Structure 1
Amino acid sequence: MTRVAAYVADTGATRRSAGAVAIRLLPVTDALAVVSCLLFAHLARFGVGSGHDFLIDRFRVDYSAVTALTAVVWVGALYLLRPRDAFAFGRGAEDWRSALRASGAVFTGCAFLTMLLQLEPSRAFLLYAFPAGTVMVLASRWAWRRWVRLSVAESPRPTLVIGTAGEVERIERTLLADPLHGLRVVASVGDRSGEAMAPCDEDWFSEVRETARLHGVEAVVVGSLPTHATTASSAVGLRRLAWELEPEGVQLLLAPGLESVTPSRIDVLHFAESPVILVRQPSYAGGKYIGKRVLDVVLAVIGLIVTAPLMAAAACAIRREDGGRVFFRQQRVGVDGRPFTILKLRSMQEDADRALHGLAALNEADGPLFKVRADPRVTRVGRFLRRYSIDELPQLWNVLRGDMSIVGPRPPLPRETARYENSARRRLLVKPGLTGPWQVSGRSDLAWEEGLLLDLSYVENWSVSGDLRILAKTVRAVLSRTGAY
């Protein structure tokens, strides 16, 4: 048993109540979102006291009654399908899924009744009310999630970790990387020296129970149970562990070590009585790549138009400094190892490539990279361009041509790929990007292995929504100038 950190539970009431408060008030904010959107849609389409009627067979029903009934049914569906676990609220996707399921069920029900009874409702009313109402509900839930996560981050739950030395270290690192999940490791079960854990017997369960009580533990994260357990199987051991923790109200979480896999690639299947985790293989073709290409073209066109004056000013500054060429062209390696010519604003002296060999001893990067923080080849204007990544803007033309994407791994040099191991070559399964996870996480300050892990995770788990988040982070990274040299 290893004590990891001291813990002072001085605001436990806030920690324990944040999720419960959100669950309790969620129906109220859902109702406000739905009613406000339906009311606005009704007033925009029919006005106040307009007397518009909805025909049902030979009967006339005022649209006000239809709007009110829709609101009641929709709010009722959201209430019945609402998330109920206060601990899970803000930590999983059920908050979103329940809202989408409820809204989808109401919309489908309305469409079915319309076809069955051959009704002719106002299409303008429905086409505004349902999408806008769903967006408003999701926005209110996002606000609740954010409030809950910030609340638990200020007063994290004391957490016990069970597993091998490597698993305990991995789980601690994961929890520290995301404090908004509100878990803080205070103790662990497992020998950090690498020796096997104690047998999973009565004494072991008693020790876990007492440790949880001693440290006021509210969550237990399990990487693995002892492999030489005296119980029939690990499943039986987990069930027994849950029984031991139940009287104390302690949450039990399993951490199977899928750090580089996003939730969108994970499903839980059930074979007989046993849950099985399905990890979908990454896809490098198909419909979502069409969406990515459309996004690339749109953003590249907009970017070239918006930044044209800035690039023109930079070009004038480059010519004025030394009279040399404005653009720098260089061979890079793209998707599937295909070479292409990258375009940049020149930030170095004209003979920079010839001077490279003389600077080998100054290299500050590890792996196949070459980086010098105070590179003597960089010009005065070039240093400013690099600081704000202005020299990268012409690569929007590469994006428009299809050589690159707006978001992706950094485009490597041929000499770098020549030194790649098999794992690093997976970076070439997608198009290189103008920005990417490496650039928003420290840029040149990152070690090769750290950046490689970020890129490999992106390659296997990328999504359009994830690309948009990276773009938003890029603005902050450029303004902060961290790792830019």
Structure 2
Amino acid sequence: MTILSERSTRLAKSAPSRALQALPVTAFGIDMVLLLIASIAAMIGRANLTWLDESTNLTSMVNDVAPFLAVGWILMIAIVGGYRRSVFGEGTDEFKRILNAGVYTAALVGVTCYLMKYQLSRGFFVLIFVIGTILLLAGRWMLRRALHVARANGALLQQVVIAGGEAQIDDVAAVLRREKWLGYHLVGALTPAGVPGTETASGIPILGDADRHDDIVGLEGIDVIFFTGGSRRSAADLRKVVWELESHDTQLVMAPAMTDFAAERVRTRPVGGLPMIHMESPRYEFAGRWAKRSFDLLGSGALILAFAPIIAFAALQVKLHDRGPVFFRQTRVGKDGREFGCFKFRTMVVNAEAMVAQLQAEQGVDALLFKMKDDPRITKPGTWLRRFSIDELPQLFNVFLGDMSLVGPRPQVPREVALYDEVLRRRLHVRPGMTGLWQVSGRNDLTVEESVRLDLYYIDNWSMTQDLSILARTVGAVMSSRGAY
């Protein structure tokens, strides 16, 4: 027996991803329960809407209509694909389908009642579809969160093999390993002229030859095969592979060797049977337009008013500690390389800047994104100011003045920017922000490389929706104090 067949046998005997087949059934059960709750809530809510003068017998109407409405709603979710296994776990497609199903069902019920001249309570109609849609979306969100937690703990994983060139395989594998919530357990790889028992540069076991038909269709216990670039296999050969795997219940995924593209920038158009992937240009120019600036202006103004008591209390604590300056104004580099004075509450000793070179020498690091735990320069009030990011609240005034944005890459000092290469200088295409993607993804616990990658992803894939998501996640990141020092 070959190494490949031995590995396949072991996978077939222990495929935990089979539990994923229960996801549609689980979602179906949750949806039924939530629609029952929505029906009861709508009936109670309508009974308390005394200002609605309707002669409808509410109890009789609910008994007649609610069961058919719930069944029709569930059928509509199924029709629009809300129970397909492919929609669970990632992306916004699942939520769009649930929302569409609610709209279509409401329209169908409204038209049917009108044509049949059925006196359906307007209050009940509005309440059940509003409450029902919200509950269904919340239920799917909780199911997704539970799925992500299970995957992070090693459950409900799909067994994955990547086929292609070694360099391309390692690129795709880096994404799958980093994004554990996707639930892909990388078993091995198939490379051109691959020798079983060897490994790729990143340590992925090679199971066989990507260009040999038998090595691909002979895989058992595999849920997903990623095909990436670097293989010599023709389109006709790949089509035969698809036919051969029909009976294996194995998904085939084409994974171009391109990473860090948001879904909004990717468009797929089949042309003559050939799927063409269109990639939109980076979107950082949109981050400098009036919509984002208006949002920053209104948002920072509202937050300054809301946090005024906290700002005053923090200022008093800093001043009383050592009678030094309350604010620390440091020159930072903003959009297009323009320098500005960045405000913060002073959290370090007065001569903190003079100690930087010595600390860098002791730590053995350069100036780029310099941070250290247990920094001896931090004062007593500075500890809790940093832990909850209160020290950065004065930057709301920088946002209001237009030097910064609420969301964006963190501003850095000129000596750090001087170390930028061509790639890092892309951070200067947008206004720096008070919070950003890497802050809500781990803050200072991330490596420099990971922080840079997240900043560049934000710049190239900017959207207002992403900004709102980052602001919402910032609250959780600040309250948990994870990675803050």
Q: What TM-score comes out, normalization by structure 2 length?
A: 0.79
Distance of 2:247 and 2:335 partners within structure 1: 55
Alignment partner of 1:18 is 2:17: no
Q: Is the 1:34–1:136 contact (alpha carbons within 8 Å) kept by the matching residues of 2?
A: yes
Q: In the alignment, what sits opposite 1:419?
A: 419
Q: Is the 2:288–2:430 contact (alpha carbons within 8 Å) kept by the matching residues of 1?
A: no
Q: Which letter maps to 2:448?
A: W
Of residues 94-103 and 357-366 in structure 1, the stretch that sits farther from structure 2 once superposed is: 357-366
Q: Which runs of 5+ in 2 are unaligned?
A: none
Q: In the alignment, what sits opposite 2:189?
A: 188
Q: Which letter maps to 1:164?
A: G
Q: In the alignment, what sits opposite 1:59?
A: none
Question: Residues 128 and 461 of structure 1: is their aligned pair in 2 closer, same or farther, counting only changes over 3 Å?
Answer: farther
Aligned to 1:282, what secondary structure does the other structure show? coil
Q: In the alignment, what sits opposite 1:105?
A: 104
Alignment partner of 1:162 is 2:170: no
Alignment partner of 1:343 is 2:348: no
Q: Is the 2:81–2:97 contact (alpha carbons within 8 Å) kept by the matching residues of 1?
A: yes
Q: Is the 2:326–2:345 contact (alpha carbons within 8 Å) kept by the matching residues of 1?
A: yes
Question: Residues 387 and 51 of structure 1: is their aligned pair in 2 closer, same or farther, counting only changes over 3 Å?
Answer: closer
Alignment partner of 1:207 is 2:223: no
Deviations 1:163-219 (A, max 9, x none): 22223323333223333332212222125457x998765xx1112222x12xx2222
Q: What TM-score comes out, normalization by structure 1 length?
A: 0.79
Q: Which letter maps to 2:214?
A: S
Q: In the alignment, what sits opposite 1:172?
A: 173
Q: Which letter maps to 2:88?
A: F
Q: In the alignment, what sits opposite 1:256?
A: 256
Question: Residues 21 and 103 of structure 1: is their aligned pair in 2 closer, same or farther, counting only changes over 3 Å?
Answer: closer
Distance of 1:287 and 1:329 partners within structure 2: 26
Distance of 1:123 and 1:336 partners within structure 2: 56
Q: In the alignment, what sits opposite 2:379?
A: 379
Alignment partner of 1:220 is 2:225: yes
Distance of 2:224 and 2:273 partners within structure 1: 25
Question: Residues 167 and 122 of structure 1: is their aligned pair in 2 closer, same or farther, counting only changes over 3 Å?
Answer: same
> 1:308-323, aligned counterparts within 5 Å?
308-323=308-323
* Shift in Å, 1:327: 0.9
Distance of 1:464 and 1:426 partners within structure 2: 19
Q: Which runs of 5+ in 1 are unaligned?
A: 54-61
Distance of 2:443 and 2:31 partners within structure 1: 44
Q: In the alignment, what sits opposite 1:56?
A: none
Q: In the alignment, what sits opposite 1:407?
A: 407
Of residues 31-40 and 165-174 in structure 1, the stretch that sits farther from structure 2 once superposed is: 31-40
Question: Residues 388 and 362 of structure 1: is their aligned pair in 2 closer, same or farther, counting only changes over 3 Å?
Answer: farther
Q: In the alignment, what sits opposite 2:300?
A: 300
Distance of 2:430 and 2:35 partners within structure 1: 44
Q: Paired residue for 1:43, among 24, 43, 47?
A: 47
Distance of 2:480 and 2:75 partners within structure 1: 47
Q: In the alignment, what sits opposite 2:82?
A: 83
Aligned to 2:440, what secondary structure does the other structure show? helix
Deviations 1:392-423 (A, max 9, x none): 12112222333222222101222322332222
Q: In the alignment, what sits opposite 2:138?
A: 139
> 1:226-241, aligned counterparts within 5 Å?
226-227=231-232, 229=233, 233=234, 235-241=235-241
Identity of aligned residues (%): 32
Question: Residues 335 and 52 of structure 1: is their aligned pair in 2 closer, same or farther, counting only changes over 3 Å?
Answer: farther
* Shift in Å, 1:162: 1.2
Q: In the alignment, what sits opposite 1:457?
A: 457
Question: Residues 33 and 244 of structure 1: is their aligned pair in 2 closer, same or farther, counting only changes over 3 Å?
Answer: farther
Distance of 1:382 and 1:84 partners within structure 2: 51
Of residues 65-74 and 471-480 in structure 1, the stretch that sits farther from structure 2 once superposed is: 65-74
Q: Which letter maps to 2:22?
A: A
Distance of 1:134 and 1:404 partners within structure 2: 38
Distance of 1:111 and 1:403 partners within structure 2: 52
Number of aligned residue pairs: 468
Of residues 286-295 and 156-165 in structure 1, the stretch that sits farther from structure 2 once superposed is: 286-295
